[in-house]
Structure 1
């Protein structure tokens, strides 16, 4: 006898992620669960074996950044020591962990050098911070001090106010434990790859105008020679991977032709000849994973990887799925594994890949995919008991045309326990981004709504990834235009298809961009009986000055410069507050610096001032990612308030 999904199921669902294949062909993975008593996330390291999984770490902590040395002798990972993340070594044969670093501000990421003699790692140095300076640990007598700010990038979501720091690269010798600094300065260095013992591929964001610099320049440095610039498009370097023979680089880059709506692309760079080839130019889909989900934890993005001197595999967000592709240095690419699934983790050897895969009815497991036979074998069963005991609704795939004929993809879930002849209410759920996308993956929030007796509609309006570049770009400068038409066309399509949906009993919700769109919708139609807006934007005029990304995101997305108040106001949902008649619940995190809580405050006061039906729920110690990585008790509260509001106002 199965039970329906509950809000408390976040404590039952485990996340298996970040697979890594060692030189001995044994694989490791991270497994995360939510500890209700500790009110925290616990991530431990496991090794996959023929008869199951061997747990390698047991501390109640959160591990990350697992790497295997090329000789198979060592693993490294990052975990906290004295409340700072440090690098630890673990012998593959067993034994206790050994702390490798003791950095004052902790370590950001780490990897073995390709020859295995060193571990390279990244640290953030405060501007003007001298080596060896000690900071007092006794702050009881410390008086408050003013914070002097002269940069625009002075705060960040989840972190708050930022000290002026720059990422440097250090190296520690595996035998002598001697530490040296490879790259440092008043710029952010990222070491992407090493070849042999003395070739480094790195990037830097050095700029004369750092406030408006969103570009990384890629270099290769051979020994003591001067670094050589590797040509890349203006924008960011997502990943660089050196071929096993050291002759080619696989480069994933995110250009700026369409600002943050630009597809990530894949390139092969011939080191000796200095030539770069764009291998995904004809694909018109983004390289990597951009799915919106809420149960997968400790994910390490690995969009592309070599499997031989001439062949590589990579992930593609593709029409609502994330699929596995293969390519070669001659520029040919082809799909290897396509399906109604979300590949959210990948590592590969010459003959197989280990993949973390989720579907609508599975939170996620690891699988082995054989490149020759194309056979997919399941390796883990961490969520088997949960799936077997729970009634999980598998949504229907839908495709419909928007008002201007644009084709839009989405999914529709019947209520859990659906019975013929009954009328059911429906909730439309809108994703954030806007350049994320709903996909073929498990989504706990959707399952909760279905378990509560609602039909659930979720679609990918223009602006969503996994489709063409023109589709992703179409939302910019048109917030509340074509995207609004796409969502309402989905409501029209599905209510027209199924007469058992109560058209007078509809709800709408969404977070971030989805919160903006929820605000916009209730200001432009009375079709919905109840609405819940989460971590939303309501006023673009104030947003550009208070968000950690506001001053450039508004330029990029609304395409309104600083003085264009009319355009920003036109796209601001608060402008239309007079027309909001739908009862609107406002959920917002107090430490949200992406869509700051003043956005929720403005909307709440505007609604109350006009005697509208509303309520404002503030979540302390929570940031923009509350629904995905927030404190477990607050995640429970968020879903409880959301479902209670719909139950109150929908029959």
Structure 2
């Protein structure tokens, strides 16, 4: 039967082809990092009927975050691009009448200020400056934009007697002279001479005019006075500003005479001046500096006519983040950190606080840190970046009728994949019975009857907070079959000043015990393989990882990322050394040598048996790579299995580029897999 034989041959061929075809993965892969998007910087249209926001995506060709501007109606029915091409768009801000949109873009190669006319879509380039403008702020009449701009200074060289170089000679580079306290900064490297100054620019076209001068770091939020004659700003204008890391006041500069006038002079830093819509009050953030390592700032209001100053949020005992006036000028909406979440509340001018039903987040793609931004419309509608442990940030709005999510930026990238479910995991500290918040990610296809390897992931800061938020690093770890736990041990932010300062001049300390309690709680669930426990963390989490392997041998392997290993050397090499030595240490390194050494992971290195990898950016000036090198060399001297992974060009924020996030997680997982004991 030739027909039957032909049919059988065809079926066999099809089956063979199907067998050869590779099944598409149904779990998260490293390359999925480039598919993520998230929302940021929302603000309302003039009529309050739509929300503008930055749509940030991963550019696989340029290995960077690409930012465009989109607009979505409050009812969610219209969602369209406004400025969406190959250029980056940042710091967009709408004019008071809603007719013009100012923003910063690199569309012609360098970052410049542009204005888009909303009725016609025409775009005008307003600046041609050397450095990137920041803090764009409209005047109330819509005729000017103020901004900050780094302005170089040109000091005379120390040595001027170099002989003339012969024509064609090849000499060494000229020596660089450093004579300032602040001379390098993480993410920026060695700093050029100069300061941020305030400029004003007519939007009808013209030349930016410099308003401030002097060797003072003018930076941060700007706001015009009600009559547009002055601009409020925050600065430390003392000559020894570099040695006063938590000192700043509010000033105003006259836009005509450029005269600078002090507006506040409270002890501690004042920042983010924000004028009320009626022009009567100036709100700002203020910290009553008590020299503790963890301090909460409060929303503070100055009545401009009387000079009366009122602290509004002292009773909250939480870290205030963003704040905005309501349209009636009788109160403010603000975000604050609480138990690993970013929440919203309102406060009136008498200090009465009312919590709102909105949780912000989704903007810290790498690890599950707190985050979130919001905006308030004149009609009271609030737009915010949403929080979801399985998705990066979308835009949502909340009104008196309820809350709704307007965008869906990641279903195309993630909806078809099996992700790790995130659950809360309450922990009781064995030290003093305190409640410790923790979370656990269960790998795809989780089966509680099976036994899984465990990764303890520790946050940095140390005064920072994790929460039940989307985190690509956590999800990638879980996708490879690991249970991942993270927590907020003592010292974390979002729990009040007392909890934060339990590690003041005592770090690391019992925070180690809290972390081990987290591990024990996870093991107590019955599905953790105790032979396959792993530990990692970055920055402050790197400190605690290195400290932990000096205290216990229970972990099969460890990855210590961008750590402090030796507080003595750290105090004299970190970029923010005036702050660290004054607020984190009981004295200068030579004054508190024994104390600092006793809290240094290097002091415990003789106990370490755990195979340990060090991972740090080569351009990290916050926790310089020399810290990692000390621990690596000490481990090698002892014959402990150790490796050092150096990320070229990376600063403290290793995962600032998508490919670096992949390198970071990939190397961590490769190290753990090397020491993971496979089931027989």
TM-score normalised per structure 1: 0.91
C-alpha contact 1:478 1:558 (8 A) present in aligned 2: no
Q: CA deviation at 1:94?
A: 4.2
Range with bigger deviation, 20-29 or 420-429? 20-29
Task: Choose the corresponding residue for 1:419, options 441, 444, 447.
Answer: 447
Task: Choose the corresponding residue for 1:186, options 196, 210, 215.
Answer: 215
- 1:294-373 aligned within 5 A: 302-339=322-359, 344-350=372-378, 351-370=380-399, 372-373=400-401
Alignment partner of 2:83: what SS?
A: coil
Alignment partner of 1:245: what SS?
A: coil
Alignment partner of 1:603: what SS?
A: helix
Q: CA deviation at 1:170?
A: 0.9
- 1:613 corresponds to which residue? 641
Alignment partner of 1:391: what SS?
A: coil
Task: Choose the corresponding residue for 1:173, options 202, 210, 222.
Answer: 202
In structure 2, the CA distance between the partners of 1:98 and 1:254, relative to structure 1 (3 Å rule), is: farther
How far apart, CA to CA, are the structure 2 residues paired with 1:226 and 1:271?
18
In the TM superposition, what whole-angstrom CA distance separates every residue of 1:230-281 from its partner, at most 9, and x where no partner exists?
4364343342211111011221234432445211211122111111111111
Q: Say whether 1:3 aligns with 2:26.
A: yes
Range with bigger deviation, 515-524 or 16-25? 16-25
Q: Say whether 1:163 aligns with 2:192.
A: yes
In structure 2, the CA distance between the partners of 1:258 and 1:60, relative to structure 1 (3 Å rule), is: farther
In the TM superposition, what whole-angstrom CA distance separates every residue of 1:488-536 from its partner, at most 9, and x where no partner exists?
121122222x122112210000000001110000011101111111111
Alignment partner of 2:432: what SS?
A: coil
Alignment partner of 2:513: what SS?
A: helix
Q: CA deviation at 1:87?
A: 1.1
Q: CA deviation at 1:129?
A: 7.7
Task: Choose the corresponding residue for 1:452, options 464, 480, 501.
Answer: 480
- 1:42 corresponds to which residue? 66
- 1:386 corresponds to which residue? 413
In the TM superposition, what whole-angstrom CA distance separates every residue of 1:341-400 from its partner, at most 9, and x where no partner exists?
666111111320111112212211100111x33x11111111122342122223221222
TM-score normalised per structure 2: 0.87
The structure number with the bigger radius of gyration is 2
How far apart, CA to CA, are the structure 1 residues paired with 2:309 and 2:421?
43
- 1:525 corresponds to which residue? 552
- 2:94 corresponds to which residue? 68
C-alpha contact 1:545 1:551 (8 A) present in aligned 2: no
How far apart, CA to CA, are the structure 2 residues paired with 1:8 and 1:225?
52
Aligned length: 624
Could you tell me which runs of 5 or more consecutive residues in structure 2 were left unpaired when the two chains were aligned.
1-23, 157-168, 362-369
C-alpha contact 2:250 2:273 (8 A) present in aligned 1: no
C-alpha contact 1:608 1:614 (8 A) present in aligned 2: yes
Q: CA deviation at 1:308?
A: 2.5
Q: CA deviation at 1:410?
A: 1.1
C-alpha contact 1:22 1:70 (8 A) present in aligned 2: no
- 1:187-202 aligned within 5 A: 187-190=216-219, 192-195=222-225, 196-202=227-233
Q: CA deviation at 1:199?
A: 3.1
Q: Say whether 1:535 aligns with 2:562.
A: yes
Structure with more of its chain in strand, by fraction: 1
Alignment partner of 1:367: what SS?
A: strand
How far apart, CA to CA, are the structure 2 residues paired with 1:363 and 1:81?
27
C-alpha contact 1:513 1:536 (8 A) present in aligned 2: yes
Q: CA deviation at 1:583?
A: 0.7
Q: CA deviation at 1:552?
A: 3.1
Task: Choose the corresponding residue for 2:243, options 212, 216, 219.
Answer: 212
How far apart, CA to CA, are the structure 2 residues paired with 1:197 and 1:624?
40
How far apart, CA to CA, are the structure 1 residues paired with 2:54 and 2:60?
19
Q: Say whether 1:280 aligns with 2:313.
A: yes
Alpha-carbon RMSD across the aligned residues, in angstroms, is 2.3
How far apart, CA to CA, are the structure 1 residues paired with 2:636 and 2:498?
40
C-alpha contact 1:250 1:306 (8 A) present in aligned 2: no
- 2:504 corresponds to which residue? 476
Q: CA deviation at 1:303?
A: 3.7
- 1:7-46 aligned within 5 A: 7-25=30-48, 26-46=50-70
In structure 2, the CA distance between the partners of 1:594 and 1:410, relative to structure 1 (3 Å rule), is: same
Q: Say whether 1:123 aligns with 2:149.
A: yes
- 2:294 corresponds to which residue? 261
Alignment partner of 1:413: what SS?
A: strand
Range with bigger deviation, 197-206 or 334-343? 334-343
- 1:399-410 aligned within 5 A: 399-402=426-429, 403-410=431-438
Q: Say whether 1:600 aligns with 2:600.
A: no
Task: Choose the corresponding residue for 1:271, options 292, 295, 304.
Answer: 304
In structure 2, the CA distance between the partners of 1:260 and 1:74, relative to structure 1 (3 Å rule), is: farther
In the TM superposition, what whole-angstrom CA distance separates every residue of 1:77-110 from its partner, at most 9, and x where no partner exists?
1123665422111112343432111123332332
In structure 2, the CA distance between the partners of 1:78 and 1:103, relative to structure 1 (3 Å rule), is: same
How far apart, CA to CA, are the structure 2 residues paired with 1:408 and 1:225?
52
C-alpha contact 1:41 1:61 (8 A) present in aligned 2: no
Q: CA deviation at 1:443?
A: 1.0
Task: Choose the corresponding residue for 2:104, options 78, 102, 125.
Answer: 78
Alignment partner of 1:4: what SS?
A: coil
Q: CA deviation at 1:540?
A: 1.2
C-alpha contact 1:216 1:235 (8 A) present in aligned 2: yes
Q: Say whether 1:559 aligns with 2:586.
A: yes
C-alpha contact 1:21 1:349 (8 A) present in aligned 2: yes
- 1:483-502 aligned within 5 A: 483-496=511-524, 498-502=525-529
Q: CA deviation at 1:323?
A: 0.8
C-alpha contact 2:154 2:193 (8 A) present in aligned 1: no
- 1:94-133 aligned within 5 A: 94-128=120-154
Q: CA deviation at 1:580?
A: 0.7
Alignment partner of 2:662: what SS?
A: helix
Q: CA deviation at 1:553?
A: 0.9
Range with bigger deviation, 260-269 or 464-473? 260-269
- 1:154 corresponds to which residue? 183
